[in-house]
Amino acid sequence: MKKHVIITSIDHRYGEFFIEHWLPSLQTNVLLKNIDVIVIDYGLTTRQKGALIKNGVKQHAGHKKGHVVFSRFIDAGIILDKTSYDQVLFVDGGDIIFQSDISELFKQNASAFRIVPQDMEVLFHEIFIPGNFSSKHIDTIYKFLKNKPVLNAGFVLGPRLKFIELCKNIQRLIINTNAYGPDQVALNYLLHKERLVLLDKKYNFMLDSVREGFMLKDGVFYLKNGDIIPVVHNSGNISFWRPIDHFGYGKRYNTIKYPMYQIKKFIFHLLEIVKKQF
């Protein structure tokens, strides 16, 4: 029987969210038979580490060499190089909850990377390419990614050997390893060169940049057609920019920050209009 793995990364700031929301939502809703969970530890407290051990979560100390969004790929590659897992799900640990089973994704299109594209324009490439890549690569990256769908690094599924190579190439490509964001560009540039399957947006439902919106009832997120959203992503670099307050798993959580939600939707819509002019 093939063994798979879910890899995420976390530090003490998001450790409580991970223990109280991310992990319970995963264990309650996802069939984890033949799937291990590994956390790359970027500074968890002793108590948080103990809670993960009690829940059967494997831990690896992160070797922070730059911004954590960059380091997590390097550490993931090191971890995977020493294992024999078949499929790898690389997923955010501080702003995601699981609401239904996703285990079937590990069996589908197993030779390809599987990932969700951004639904609305967020200018990842325009913001994060300058200053983060060597001058000889910048024009090539811009031209190659022009008019291609923007992929989000919050939920990436792929075969182990290809994932190891992806991690190594991200390390080679980025020159500013202390910045937030270039990992998204590098991932887009590298994955668009691979066999790629675009997943339905419900498998990485980015609340602030999905066109048709969502419904929220008793702490549960639904599509407009009433279906439960499998993977909910309260995306945003800092908590202020995230569209949901008290984000979590359970009836007592999740309040829409309507002003912020509407402002971000307006900005993303405006960016789409502006980008079409160029």
Same domain, 166 and 231: no
Q: Give the three-state DSSP class for 10.
A: strand
Query: Residue 266 above 90 pLDDT?
Result: no
Domain around 234: 205-275
* Number of domains making up the chain: 2
∠ CA 17-206-186, nearest 5°, is: 95
Same domain, 112 and 92: yes
What pLDDT, on the 0 to 100 scale, is given for residue 277? Answer: 64
Same domain, 104 and 179: yes
Same domain, 235 and 100: no
Same domain, 83 and 216: no
pTM: 0.95
Whether the CB-CB separation of 183 and 135 falls below 8 Å is answered with no
Q: Say which residues have a Cβ less than 8 Å from residue 186's Cβ, sequence separation at least 6.
A: 133, 169, 170, 173, 174
Q: Please write the tens of the pLDDT for every residue from 60-112.
A: 999 877 899 999 999 999 999 999 999 999 999 999 999 999 999 999 999 99
Same domain, 122 and 33: yes
CATH of the domain at 123: 3.90.550.10
Same domain, 192 and 209: no
Q: How far apart are CA 113 and CA 188, in angstroms?
A: 12
When pLDDT is cut at 50, 70 and 90, the band that residue 270 belongs to is confident
Same domain, 179 and 217: no
Mean pLDDT computed over every residue of the chain = 93
Whether the CB-CB separation of 110 and 27 falls below 8 Å is answered with no
